[in-house]
Amino acid sequence: MELRHLRYFRAVAEELHFGRAAERLHIAQPPLSQQIRHLEEELGVTLFVRSTRRVELTPAGQAYLERVEAILDAVDVAGLQAQRVAEGRQGTLAIGCVGSATYSLLPRLVRALRQDLPELDVSVRGEMLAPAQLSALISGQIDLALLRPPVGGAEVVVETIRRDRLFVALPEGDQRCAGESVDIDELRDAEFVTHAGQGRSVMNGILASICAAAGFVPQIRHEVAETSTLVTLVAAGLGVAIVPEPTAALGVAGVRYLPLIPGAPTVELAVARPAGVPSPMIEQVLTVLRRVAADDH
């Protein structure tokens, strides 16, 4: 028995006329009648009552039709699903995201994915430092990582999608809030809130580099695991922080964000994905991500 035999049977059962069923199937009527008889012989039951005036399903034929319809519908759905997956429009996607992009780019990206690729099942893991993202990417826990370079290695492909200006997060009422920007020299005696763990945060390295270029070492008062906590401590007056501009989207009361000068320094935001065989789903998502990143900037 082949699927075509089931399709032949369904056509006759729905038309209750061998001529119309044959026309619908684009085959001649005699071969169709012969295939139905072979099917009945194989099953050992009579599926149709035939007369010169009409064709009717037997009770066995009616029961068989219900199962055949379910089988053929499942086959059609399976084929459509396979096509959608092959096109990259269906599947499961896990995204990791650095803190500052969690509050700005990530919400817009997820909304765009739901609109453009509604059959994707998207999950997100925000507030992940770059080393944790790379580990999760390599182990297959996430499919894409939104992070701050420098990162890399043979296991991943990294693409810069935009550059963000660096801002100083200051407690409201801080005397340095009086202007429209903050010179790095004004932070020489400041106490800083940073991410925990030397070497684990790209922003820690950027802070050290900027301060070294200005001739001083930053005084780090508090180290925290998440950007949201970092900004909260700034609001509490426990220090200042150097952050990418999108961090302002977090909206914590009691914090003012001012551009850092001189030189209007920036930091890259990149997307990392596993190296190797290209994934149609990842390519579809990257197309949406590039557009959203450009619009969001």
Per-residue pLDDT of 172-207, as tens digits, reads 999 998 889 999 999 999 999 998 865 567 888 889
pLDDT band at 239 (very low <50, low <70, confident <90, very high): very high
Q: Which 3 state secondary structure label does DSSP give 239?
A: coil
Mean pLDDT of all residues belonging to the chain? 90
Letter string b/e over residues 170-187, b meaning 16 or more CB atoms within 10 A of that residue's CB: bbeebebbeeeebebebb
Q: Model-level pTM?
A: 0.70
pLDDT band at 132 (very low <50, low <70, confident <90, very high): confident
pLDDT band at 155 (very low <50, low <70, confident <90, very high): confident
In 3D space, the residue among 244, 287, 235 whose CA is nearest the CA of residue 98 turns out to be 244
